[in-house]
């Protein structure tokens, strides 16, 4: 079955973004995903409804990079958060669920705020998910020394953390804590101007982004 014209255009846009990213990664003089030598971060922005098409493109890029002698580390923010929640213990989980249900019965927004308050310490700040990402990246680098110019860390599944997550804060806390490996954040949302991004197309646009944005 032929895809509708609009979907074909959107799919082509995603492929073009990955093609530009690949070209900048496999550069004769080393990865060129950033204009700053000591800031090797990039963002690939995509429409949240294209999540599965995005995953296919990530697999295609990873396979291509590996075939060219690269190492690729994939990090799921969803899995990191689940691990953190489990680490709090079942008693903590049961209490959080009970309180959220009780608050939501009175007011849905109140229930959401209750849940945000409990999850925020697990997600935010330098000791939040940024610390988990940093550990994974540095451990991977130690296991594969001397390959900073042929390694890509891909951070994805950010959409599963909506509406509790701010990717600009994650990148800010990762800065200086990745062994200068190239890091790609997969960003579900919409682009606003040159540097503005709206997470999931729902939150207010955040312009606090230094990385190059591919979209």
Q: State the DSSP string of 4-20.
A: PHHHHHHHHHHHHHHHH
**Strand 71-76 vs strand 151-156: parallel, antiparallel, or unpaired?**
parallel
Identify the weakest region by mean pLDDT among 43-57, 79-93, 138-152, 163-177: 163-177
Distance CA 9, CA 119 (A): 38
Question: Model pTM?
Answer: 0.88
Nearest C-alpha neighbor of 131 from the set 88, 84, 66, 92: 84
Q: State yes or no: pLDDT of 164 exceeds 50.
A: yes
Q: Which two tokens stand for residue 57?
A: 């493109």
Q: Is residue 55 part of a domain?
A: yes
Q: Where residue 185 falls among pLDDT bands split at 50, 70, 90?
A: very high
pLDDT score, position 69: 92
Q: Identify whether 163 is preceded by a cis peptide bond (ω within 30 of 0).
A: yes
Q: Is residue 119 part of a domain?
A: no
Identify the weakest region by mean pLDDT among 2-6, 21-25, 53-57, 135-139: 2-6
Q: Is residue 135 part of a domain?
A: yes
Higher pLDDT, 209 or 22: 22
Q: Is residue 28 part of a domain?
A: yes
Contact 162, 193 (CB under 8 A): no
CATH value at residue 176? 3.40.50
Condensed to tens digits (0 to 9), the pLDDT of residues 61-79 reads 999 999 989 999 999 999 9
Maximum Cα–Cα distance across the chain: 60
Q: Is residue 88 part of a domain?
A: no
Distance CA 103, CA 110 (A): 6
Q: Is residue 21 part of a domain?
A: yes
Which residue segment(s) compose the domain that 47 sits in? Answer: 5-76+127-214
Distance CA 4, CA 14 (A): 16
Q: Is 40 helix (H, G, I), strand (E, B) or coil?
A: coil
Q: Is residue 122 part of a domain?
A: no
pLDDT score, position 209: 66
Condensed to tens digits (0 to 9), the pLDDT of residues 89-130 reads 999 999 999 999 999 998 999 988 989 899 999 999 999 999
User: Which percentage of the chain shows pLDDT scores above 70?
Assistant: 92
- Domain total in the chain: 1
Backbone angles phi, psi at 184, to 5 degrees: -115, 125
Q: State yes or no: pLDDT of 54 exceeds 60.
A: yes
Q: Is residue 89 part of a domain?
A: no
Residue labelled with tokens 């590996």:
66
């Amino acid at each position: 079955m032929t895809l509708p014209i609009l979907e074909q255009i959107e799919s082509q846009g995603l492929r073009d973004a990955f093609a530009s990213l690949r070209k900048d990664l496999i550069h004769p003089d080393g990865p060129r995903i950033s204009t700053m030598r000591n800031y090797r971060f990039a963002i690939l922005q995509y429409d949240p409804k294209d999540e599965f098409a995005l995953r296919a493109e990530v697999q295609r890029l990873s396979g291509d990079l590996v075939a060219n002698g690269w190492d690729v580390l994939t990090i799921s923010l969803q899995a990191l958060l689940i691990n953190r929640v489990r680490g709090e213990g079942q008693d903590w989980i049961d209490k959080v669920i009970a309180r959220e249900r009780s608050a939501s019965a009175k007011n849905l927004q109140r229930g959401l705020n209750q849940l945000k308050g409990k999850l925020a310490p697990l997600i935010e700040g330098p000791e939040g998910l940024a610390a988990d990402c940093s550990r994974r990246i540095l451990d991977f680098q130690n296991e594969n020394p001397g390959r900073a110019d042929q390694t890509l860390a891909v951070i994805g599944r950010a959409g599963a953390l909506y509406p509790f997550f701010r990717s600009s804060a994650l990148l800010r806390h990762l800065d200086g804590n990745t062994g200068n490996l190239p890091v790609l954040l997969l960003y579900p949302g919409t682009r606003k101007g040159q540097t503005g991004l709206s997470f999931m197309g729902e939150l207010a646009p955040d312009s606090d982004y230094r990385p190059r944005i591919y979209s």
